Structure 1
Amino acid sequence: MNLRTPTHIRKLAVLVCSFMLVLAGCGNGAQQGIVEGKVNVVTSFYPIYYMVNEIGGEHVNAINLIPAGVEPHDWTPKSRDLQNASKSQLLMVNGAGFEGWLDDFVKGLDSTSTIKTIEVSKGVALIEADGAHEESADHAHEEGHEDGDAEGHEHDHDHGSTDPHTWVSPKSALVMAKNVKDALVQEDAAHQAEYESNYEKLKSKLEAIDAKYEESLKNVKHRDIVVSHHAFGYLSRDYGLTQHAIMGITPDAEPRAQDLLRLSKLVQEKGLKYVFFEELVSDQLAKTLASEAKADILVLSPLEGLTKEQADAGDNYLTLMERNLQNLLLALQ
Structure 2
Amino acid sequence: MKFSIRHLAVLSLSSLLIAAGCGNNNASNNTGSSANASATATAEAPTAPASHKLNIKVSFYPMYEFTKNITGDLADVEALIPPGIEPHDWEPTAQDMAQITKADVLVYNGAGMENWVDQVLDSASGSKLVAVEASKGLDIMEGAAEEEDEHEHSHEHANKEGEDHHHDHGGLDPHVWLDPALAVKEVRNIEAALAAAAPEHAEAFKANADVYISKLEALDQEFREATKEVKRKDFITQHAAFGYLAKEYGLTQVPIAGLSPEEEPSAAKMAEIVEFAKTHNVKTIFFETLVSSSVADTIAKEIGAKTAVLNPIEGLTEEDRSHNLDYLGIMRQNLEALKIALNE
What is the TM-score of this pair, normalised by structure 1? 0.80
Match of 1:163 in 2: 173
Q: Is structure 2 residue 129 aligned with structure 1 residue 115?
A: yes
Any residues of structure 2 matched to 1:226-237 within 5 Å, and which?
A: 226-237=236-247
Residue of 327, 335, 339 corresponding to 1:325: 335
By how many angstroms is 1:61 displaced? 0.7
**Which has more helix, going by share of residues?**
2
Q: Is structure 2 residue 255 aligned with structure 1 residue 245?
A: yes
Q: Secondary structure at the match of 1:253?
A: coil
Any residues of structure 2 matched to 1:1-333 within 5 Å, and which?
A: 37-109=52-124, 113-129=127-143, 156-333=166-343
Q: Secondary structure at the match of 1:240?
A: coil
CA contact (8 A) 2:144 2:240 kept: no
2:275 partner letter: K
Q: Quick one: distance in 2 between partners of 1:232 and 1:124?
A: 16
CA distances 1:186-206 after superposition (whole Å, capped 9, x unpaired) = 111111221111111101000
Q: Quick one: distance in 2 between partners of 1:154 and 1:293?
A: 32
Structure 1 outlier segments of 4+, above 3 Å: 152-155
Q: Quick one: distance in 1 between partners of 2:338 and 2:308?
A: 9
Q: Give the superposed CA RMSD.
A: 1.8
| Equivalent pairs, count | 277
By how many angstroms is 1:54 displaced? 0.5
Q: Quick one: distance in 1 between partners of 2:309 and 2:179?
A: 16
By how many angstroms is 1:122 displaced? 1.4
1:183 partner letter: A
CA distances 1:124-162 after superposition (whole Å, capped 9, x unpaired) = 21112268xxxxxxxxxxxxxxxxxxxx89962311121
2:108 partner letter: V
CA contact (8 A) 2:108 2:132 kept: yes
Q: Quick one: distance in 1 between partners of 2:121 and 2:165?
A: 25
Q: Quick one: distance in 1 between partners of 2:110 and 2:88?
A: 14
1:306 partner letter: L
Q: Quick one: distance in 2 between partners of 1:212 and 1:280?
A: 26
2:179 partner letter: S
Match of 1:140 in 2: none
Q: Could you list the runs of 5+ residues in structure 1 that have no partner in the other structure?
A: 1-35, 132-151
2:73 partner letter: E
